[in-house]
Structure 1
Amino acid sequence: MTRETTWQNKVAIITGGSSGIGEATALALAERGTKVLVTGRDEAKLANVASADKAIVTLKADSSDPASAARIVDTALDRWGRLDLIVNNSGAGQPLPVMAYDADLISKMSAVNIVAPSLLVKEGHSALRTTKGAIVNIGTAVSRNAVPMVAHYAATKAALEHLTRSWAIEFAGDGIRVNAVAPGPVKSGALTGMMGLPDEMAQQIEAQEEAQVPLGRRGVPADIVPWILRLGSSENEWLTGQVLTVDGGWSLRT
């Protein structure tokens, strides 16, 4: 099978795919002939993604809702009858100094970053076993070092990376490969979106992070997408349980 036909007529689910890395991945897969189901909470953003390519279908779904996993998988299977790839891209994070710790906020991060991927993998397992498909989890290079203020975001993403390795062993007998990409500072709107920071504060943090990247710039979604596709590709039959950090060397300095 050539690279040109690797993704033809395959089916992928991408959570949190209405912007940033998720959107870029959906577009890249659709361009290669894959049918893509993208989930998210913002209907306007979802509509924008769907309008870019007829191979992309969207579903409004909140990953923090445990019932969403079955609905997402059922939507893909009802429409296309198969599933080849799950990209667990949804993420939740919020800066929290210790004295601002809040049980609901911590639970929300855990629900999106740990529980949601776990339930989606559970619901999609049978279909992935049939196609010998793959799972690509999106972690974060932030978890490579101590991270005051965003400790719970980093901790829950580190848990997802551990699940990546555990699932790789558990699903190996089914022919399902599980890997992860851990992006560094990427221009994806996450600071003002997922993290909820004011524009001015987000710009300050972006400038600080850019100065820390040895390769001299912040990343863009296009820096991450090729690795998601490579890890999810059926061409990589013997690669599983890996967490690939893609961050311009940022985690080596911070």
Structure 2
Amino acid sequence: MTHAQPEPSAQTPPERAEYAFEGRTVVVTGGGSGIGRATAHAFADEGARVLVVGRRTEALAETARHRPNIRCYGADLSEPDAPAAVVAEAVREFGGIDVLVNNAARLRPEPLGRIDDLDARTELRVNLLAPLFLTQEALPRLEAAKGTVVNVSTAGIGRGWAGHSVYGAAKTALDFLTRTWAVELAPRGIRVVGIAPGPVDTPLAERAGLGPDEVARLRARQSARVPLGRVGQPEEVARWAVELARPEAAFTTGLVLPVDGGASAVF
């Protein structure tokens, strides 16, 4: 005797594909280390073709090592011609763009009164204007793919952050862009989401000029302020870039997700 199978209800989630990104192209900026490298690896491990972009070509090559579906492109995203060059390279290598991860960041902490004009302008170009103009350049490709933009900002920037006014202002603005673009681009089939990492063990502090002892003290202070009692790992942030870009997340847009060990919940 056989029994008819029940019809799936409208609430049944779609079956999760093992390689949901196979045949899709992902562009990751700031892909030479930290969250960018982990994000590139996470997408590549799920079958995506990944273009990693950054200034340090040796670091990009290390990201791509042993992963034949990762390609590298050296570019300084603070330069005006970089967005067009990055999109052209993605099209040349893979034929289009399905997911754009705006992850590249620059941090030069200084209190008001000691902020250097050139450093401030470069911080704003890398942290805010590069995502803006790269996304704008990629729009035709993203629309053709019904793609997703993932902007990486910073958790807790709604509160004051002494010594980081330029960086914090740029990342606050990036969150605003995420929400605004989500509304603007929804009719074109493009989703826009954000990830706001808390303290994460990346080389960003070292590249900002902190020595090993200063970084160790910084990590200790950060861990003390995080409810989970530690800083995060790049892979823990990268996982959410992948999750938010999945086909199963097709009804999610305009979200900026804190991945911060609970730090943003502490008043």
TM-score scaled by length of structure 2: 0.92
SS at match of 1:117: helix
Aligned partner of 2:111 in structure 1 is: 97
Give the partner amino acid of 2:52: V
- Whether 1:85 and 2:99 are equivalent positions in the alignment is yes
Give the stretch that moved more between structures: 28-37 or 226-235: 226-235
Q: State the SS of the aligned residue for 1:238.
A: coil
Regions of 4+ moved over 2 Å: 251-254
Letter in 2 for 1:106: A
1:123 aligned onto 2:160 = no
Q: State whether residues 146 and 189 of structure 2, in contact with CA within 8 Å, keep that contact through their aligned partners in structure 1.
A: yes
Counterparts of 1:142 and 1:152, CA distance in 2: 15
Residue in 1 aligned with 2:17?
3
Per-residue CA deviations over 1:189-238 (Å, capped at 9, x if unaligned) read: 11102x22222211111111011111111100121112111111222111
Letter in 1 for 2:147: G
Q: How does 1:87-236 map to 2 (within 5 A)?
A: 87-193=101-207, 195-236=208-249
Alignment deviations for residues 108-139 of structure 1 (CA, whole Å, 9 cap, x no partner): 11100111001111111001101100000000
Q: State the Cα distance separating 1:142 from its structure 2 match.
A: 4.0
Query: Aligned to 2:160, what secondary structure does the other structure show?
Result: coil
Stretches of structure 1 lacking an aligned partner (at least 5 in a row): none
Letter in 2 for 1:9: G
Work out which of the residue numbers 46, 61, 65 in structure 2 matches 1:51: 65
Structure whose CA Rg is larger: 2
Correspondence for 1:34: 48
Question: Match for 1:175: what amino acid?
Answer: G
2:264 maps to 1:251: yes
Give 1:103 deviation, angstroms. 1.6
Provide the C-alpha distance between the structure 2 equivalents of 1:108 and 1:5, rounded to a whole number of angstroms. Answer: 38
Amino acid at match of 1:58: C
> What whole-Å deviation, never above 9, does each CA across 1:29-88 have from its counterpart, x for those lacking one?
111110000011112111111113000000111111121111111101111112100000
Corresponding residue SS for 2:206: coil
CA contact (8 A) 1:6 1:235 kept: no
Name the Cα RMSD after superposition. Answer: 1.2
Deviation at 1:239, TM superposition (A): 0.6
Q: Which is worse superposed, 63-72 or 230-239?
A: 230-239
**Whole-angstrom distance in 2 between the partners of 1:52 and 1:218:** 28
SS at match of 2:93: helix
User: Structure 2: any 5+ residue segments left out of the alignment?
Assistant: 1-14
CA distance in 1 between counterparts of 2:165 and 2:156 reads: 9
Secondary structure of 2:204's counterpart equals coil
- How far apart are residue 97 of structure 1 and its match? 1.0
